[in-house]
Amino acid sequence: MPDTSLALRVHDTLAGRKVRVEPREERGRKLLRLYVCGITPYDSGHIGHAFTFCVYDVLVRFVEASGVRVRYVQNVTDVDDPLFERARRDGVDWRELAESEVAVHIRDMGSLGWRVPDFMPRVSGEITPILRAATKLHSNGYAYKTDALYFDASRYRGYGNLSHRTRRSMIRKLREEGLLGTVGPGAKQDALDFPLWRSSRPEEPAWPSRFGEGRPGWHIECSAMAMRYLGEQIDIHGGGRDLAFSHHESERAQSECLTGKVPFARAWMHTGLVRYEGKKMSKSLGNLVLIPQALERAPAAAVRLYLASHRYGRDWEFRWSGLAQAARLAERVRILLAGERAGVGTAQPAATGRVGPNKGMAAGTRRLVDQFNRVLADDLDTPGALRVLRTALREGDAPAVRWMMGILAGTASLT
């Protein structure tokens, strides 16, 4: 069996290689601090979102199974342009729209056997710490006020290092995403500067501040929420690869300027993008596979196994034939586990801190569980873990299969 230290390595986007994740001690027990960028609640989630959140669900379950506690934060960006635009279009209050979409998100992810994060802070409820962070950056000379309060990206020498982009590449992406804004007198001083606090349009929420009535910029929201719930330095910061720039790049810069502590995140872990019909699955293109649609075709555990069949850091193409194949695998699991309806949930941490069952375990089961753990510890290799699961199925080892499903599929239904 593994020893009491979790030998987990993940690919760090900043370093461009795998790094060891070493949780720190808190009150005599190891604690891993994880922040994952969550949803902007203006429309239904799709399989691309589910892939990202299920990746971190596997990570959390695996780490917790080792006896290491995880403090898991996933935010809700309920103060953002897409939400307000949708609310205006549909003639509804933005708060009602956000509330309904958050409920759908929790329902859909719950149906996939998701372990609810410990904290799901909403931007609208975190304005005070967000404004405090923006004010401190301004007071310390990292931000300036014109038509908005902007972070001065030139004050952070490593801006662009996380996403490995040149200045030209960063400006091009900002332009493509409609985030470039205006550069010039009375506006921002440089194309890479970004707003920390901005004025609100009519019918948008606004809060009083020394910079004028308005609302926070996108990037500062996550810095403030991560620090409030996890502290000034965290172990893993996660999200989709499309967030590496500009969101995470800007978040890293302002966070380290805010505290003077480096690094803000010891590992930046990004998931790949999901394509469908040859293009990135996105709300703007309309090429979506919604979670309920997938669940009409296959049990929730099969959906989880299909998502786990892809390396988390790579882009991949959603195919219904792949989901059907995963459904056949889930059926083999169901038969072996004598018709159990759901996965076993979070594997219980052993008293010794070891990963896996540690009492009454047959030698064959121990061998399979150890192999499964080693594969997952090496950059969360879920396709490799599925290969071990298939071996356990061939050998008819129900305890090993039950353990593995508890991590790969959580409490997702097998029927």
Instruction: Quote the CA–CA distance of 366 and 1 in Å, as a whole number.
Output: 7
In the chain, count of helices (H) and strands (E)?
Answer: 13, 14
Instruction: Quote the CA–CA distance of 219 and 137 in Å, as a whole number.
Output: 13
Compute CA distances 80 → 94, 113, 263, whole Å: 10, 28, 27
Give the contacts of 223 (CB within 8 A, at least 6 positions apart).
Answer: 133, 251, 254, 255, 258, 264
Domains in the chain (CATH in brackets) are 8-276 (3.40.50.620)
Regions of the chain short of the pLDDT cut 70: 1-6, 339-360
Closest CA to 40 of 102, 117, 120: 102
Compute CA distances 400 → 19, 154, 291, 317, 349, whole Å: 28, 53, 28, 30, 16
Joined together, the tokens standing for residue 46 give 């799709």
The whole-model pTM stands at 0.94
Give the contacts of 111 (CB within 8 A, at least 6 positions apart).
Answer: 291, 295, 300, 412, 413
**pLDDT at position 6, please?**
60
**pLDDT at position 2, please?**
36
Instruction: Assess contact for 218 and 248: CB atoms under 8 A.
Output: no
Closest CA to 272 of 174, 192, 380: 380
